[in-house]
A = this chain, B = another copy of it.
Amino acid sequence: MQKSFSVYDSDGSKFAPLVVIELVSETKEEAIAWLLNRVRDKQQDGGAELLVEQLTPGAQGTEKDNPNVYVVGASWQRLLCGAEDVGLFKEFNDGSMRGFTYANKHNFKEFQGDGDGFLSMAECQYIIKHELDNLRAKDEAHVPGYPKMKLYPGKSVIRRMQSKGILVQVFPLHEKEELKRLSFSWFKKIKLSFQPLDDIRHYFGEGMALYFGFLEYFTLALIPMALIGIPYYLFDWEDYDKFTVFAGFNLVWCTVILELWKRLSASLAYGWGTLSRKKAFEEPRPGFHGVLGVNPVTGRAEPLYSNAKRQLRIYLVSVPFVLLCLYLSLYVMMIYFDMEGWALMIHDEEPTFWTGLLLFIPSIIYAVVIEIMNLIYRYAAEFLTGWENHRLESTFQNHLVLKVLVFNFFNCFASLFYIAFVMQDMVLLRQSLATLLITSQILNQIMEAFLPYWLQRRRNKKAHKRMIKTMGDQELPLSEQVKLEADMSTYLGTFDDYLELFLLFGYVSLFSCVYPLAAVLVVLNNVTEVYSDAFKMCKVFKRPFSEPAANIGVWQLAFEAMSVIAVVTNCALIGMSPQVKSYFPESETQLILWVVGFEHFLLASKFILTFVIPDVPKHIQIKLSRLEFESLEALKKRKMLEASGIPKNDK
């Protein structure tokens, strides 16, 4: 970890600033003093034992600047103890990954001297966030100076101040040098190589690194599809019969890549020490509210919210709302088909080049409308899920993902399903798929790369001007750096990025056999996606707190569900192809029975395959069992020593 900046704590110890806390400018003095004391207090007194200092505004500080900005750091010892608290896994001397313990610190591979540099800055920031979140009220009834901001023993102080709005934000600082190196190796040079996943993990944490790993894996996995797709496109453009082979390939492909990803992600997570890391006990999410009661698990006084009420909200409000939105989406789809019919009518009356172009207009408009509807629905879903008042962040996320997935799936694919299986019009399906895919990709690239780039340039120019005005060519002082980063947008997590991949996966796996170029388009999109995502992470957003993750979580499930649906649609498309139909000239019933039988066979094989392929590669399984075995042996030895002190006979 680089120490380009350092500030002094009240007791005079110098520390590297890691995390910034910003309070609203009119916060009362007593509340600030109380908070800082609690952060500085020793752990046995219930404090966080961190170092914290007010940011002294630089020379060019203006009246407008918020004075209540604090930087937080910690001594190395404190961070190492914190690493043990959060259950960090590090590489041991023997090459295996083990839970770090302070007592055992010298047996870890990269531990040298007093431990400086052992933890990455992202890890230090994660530890500080954990300690801040775990700063709990003792016997304060409310935040000093704010009688309405109720506290009770055990309530997280930071979360309460955040949900009541005194605390504007807590965010980790960027490391300029590190970031420069990372961006260079990641996206600044044009090269044919893998992403520096370990560096990404080092800087942004495991959750982010797994996203980029998955993005890269998904792109590579698509390349065979794309390679097969190109000759299909070039030579068989009008021969719909050949797509049977392509559909078969599609089926095998989407089952296999998801299984292999599970293994790959287990390998990555093992190397990063998150695979066998135990989940910490989950605290209520900041927005959760309820009547004070006793939590049956912890025995602590805590707000409780009746599950029955929540279920009522879900089933009486959320579910009808989602259904209404689905209906709306269906309605819009019908308008699209009307427009489509109208355009076709005009084209058929007087076919010119311009009416030929007109044929694409309805699809393009529909694609734009879909994107807009998705965006609006996303906010509604977030509001609604918040209103359902889930106690845990994980349940909140699951309900949100479910809501958004169902709608987006329906919104994006309903028209394609309708065209494919009700209208059975393969030409329209291909045209519609192509337009939807291309339009949504263009829109996404604009939203994700050009817009941020443009914003960034504007901001850079402003900052540049200000900097040059005041200090010429020197490096930015800490206060300026903090101010600059505080103004950057906040990255809201990998949700939207995964969602986009999910929809792309859907386009490829569900229907690409009728439009083999889809895989090619998705590959192209993903390549630019890597660059634009990397750019936005490094340049546009505040640094996010690193989030330890062992897998891509609920998305694995979502992708698997999609691949099951893909089996069904591909089998149906195969059954509808003239090539297959020609094998059963006399009886359509026979054809359907064969296709259904084949589909059942595929589904069964898929489940058996999922079951048979181990989720964790053998060599990692061996390492994990060795660790388990050793801890069992150690326990046994300890017990044996203890037991030897016990009288031997019961006379």
Minimum C-beta distance from A307 to chain B (A): 9
On chain B, the residues within 8 Å of A280 by CB distance are 632
User: Does A114 reach chain B (CB closer than 8 Å)?
Assistant: yes
Residues of chain A at the chain B interface (Cβ within 8 Å): 13, 42-44, 49, 75-78, 81, 84-85, 102-103, 114, 116, 280-281, 296-299, 568, 588-589, 592-593, 596, 600, 622, 625-626, 628-629, 632, 636, 639-640, 642-644, 646-651
Do B640 and A43 have beta carbons less than 8 Å apart? yes
On chain B, the residues within 8 Å of A84 by CB distance are 639
In the complex, 22 of the A-B residue pairs with CB atoms within 8 angstroms, ordered by the A residue number, are A13-B649, A13-B650, A13-B651, A42-B644, A43-B640, A44-B640, A75-B648, A77-B648, A77-B650, A85-B639, A102-B642, A102-B646, A114-B650, A281-B629, A281-B632, A296-B626, A297-B626, A298-B629, A299-B626, A589-B589, A592-B592, A592-B596
Given contacts A75-B648, A281-B632, A596-B596, 6 further A-B contacts (CB under 8 A): A81-B643, A102-B646, A281-B628, A298-B626, A588-B589, A592-B596
Q: Which residue of B lies closest to A81 (CB)?
A: B643
Q: Which residue of B lies closest to A282 (CB)?
A: B625
Docked CA distance A640–B85 (Å):
9
Report, nearest first, the 4 A-B pairs whose CB atoms are least far apart: A75-B650, A76-B650, A297-B625, A297-B626
Docked CA distance A296–B636 (Å):
20
Minimum C-beta distance from A614 to chain B (A): 12
Known: A589-B588, A589-B589. A646 touches B81 (CB 8 A): yes
Docked CA distance A58–B479 (Å):
95
On chain B, the residues within 8 Å of A625 by CB distance are 297
Do B643 and A102 have beta carbons less than 8 Å apart? yes
Q: Which residue of B lies closest to A115 (CB)?
A: B650
Q: Which residue of B lies closest to A647 (CB)?
A: B77
Return the contact of A622 from the options B43, B297, B639 (Cβ within 8 A): B297
Docked CA distance A649–B50 (Å):
11
Docked CA distance A625–B114 (Å):
37
Minimum C-beta distance from A95 to chain B (A): 13
Docked CA distance A280–B639 (Å):
15
Docked CA distance A589–B576 (Å):
13
Docked CA distance A592–B648 (Å):
75
Most chain B CB inside 10 Å of its own CB: which residue of A622, A646, A650: A650
Known: A297-B629, A298-B629. A646 touches B281 (CB 8 A): no
On chain B, the residues within 8 Å of A76 by CB distance are 650
Minimum C-beta distance from A52 to chain B (A): 14
Docked CA distance A190–B577 (Å):
66
Docked CA distance A280–B628 (Å):
10
Do B629 and A75 have beta carbons less than 8 Å apart? no
Minimum C-beta distance from A279 to chain B (A): 10
Docked CA distance A103–B596 (Å):
63
Docked CA distance A103–B102 (Å):
27
Docked CA distance A646–B79 (Å):
12
On chain B, the residues within 8 Å of A642 by CB distance are 102-103
Q: Which residue of B lies closest to A78 (CB)?
A: B648
On chain B, the residues within 8 Å of A626 by CB distance are 296-299
Docked CA distance A650–B78 (Å):
9
On chain B, the residues within 8 Å of A299 by CB distance are 626
On chain B, the residues within 8 Å of A49 by CB distance are 648
Do A85 and B297 have beta carbons less than 8 Å apart? no
On chain B, the residues within 8 Å of A116 by CB distance are 650
